[in-house]
Amino acid sequence: MTEPSADSRTVVVEREFLHPPEKIWRALTQPHLIEEWLMKNDFKPALGHRFNLRGEWGGVLDCEVLAIEPNRTLSYTWNFAHDDAAFDLRSIVTFTLTPSGTGTLLRMEQTGFRPDQRQAFGGAKAGWQQFITKLEQLLTRQD
């Protein structure tokens, strides 16, 4: 199992949906529904179940269910094995559902690291940071 280390980083994406938690839970845990918004998969809502998520780009993610609490929390590993450390990713994805007045707040938290990014930009100078930030913006727009 992947342990988040001191060098790990976290991505958080939150959104409020105007739907009840039970319905969002189905979209997160039923394979044919997961496929519609995320990726092809052989998910089962069972602790310790190992499955793959298959991207349209041909990549395959290795996953294992780490925590499951119906309508509230779902957590699984999200590992992408790659020979090149620049692409290798070890992470854990956790979905948390919280009822709100009008629907549900869905929070996705992904914590992990790429082996070669533990020290990543430590030595980079400000100029490079700026350059990279600009490139990131460019890449985001191109997607």
Partner 1 sequence: MSKAQDTLFRTLADPTRRAIFERLCRQGEQTVGALTARSGVSQPAVSKHLGILKQAGLVRDRQDGRQTHYSAQLRALSPLIDWTSQMASFWEKRFDDLEDLLKRMDQ
Residue 141 tokens, joined: 């727009």
| The one segment of 18-26, 44-52, 56-64, 65-73 that binds partner 1 by CB under 8 A | 18-26
Residue type, 73: T
Number of residues that bind partner 1 (CB under 8 A): 40
Tell me how far apart the terminal alpha carbons of the chain are, to the nearest angstrom: 32
Among 2, 31, 33, 72, binds partner 1 (CB under 8 A): 33
Residue 1 tokens, joined: 């199992």
Give the DSSP H/E element, type plus range, for residue 127: helix 126-142
Q: How far is CA 102 from CA 16, 17, 25, 107, in A?
A: 9, 8, 16, 16
Give yes or no for residue 40 binding partner 1 (CB under 8 A).
no
Among 5, 7, 22, 36, binds partner 1 (CB under 8 A): 36
Give yes or no for residue 66 binding partner 1 (CB under 8 A).
no
Residues linked to residue 94 through DSSP beta bridges, in sequence order: 75, 109
Question: What CA–CA distance (Å, rounded) separates 98 from 117?
Answer: 32
Residue 52 tokens, joined: 């793959």
Give yes or no for residue 1 binding partner 1 (CB under 8 A).
no
| Residue 46: CB minimum distance to partner 1, A | 22
Give yes or no for residue 57 binding partner 1 (CB under 8 A).
no
- Tell me which residues touch partner 1 (CB under 8 A): 9-11, 13, 15, 17, 19, 23-24, 26-27, 33, 36-38, 84-87, 89, 106, 108, 110, 114, 116-117, 119-121, 123, 128, 131-132, 135-136, 138-140, 142-143
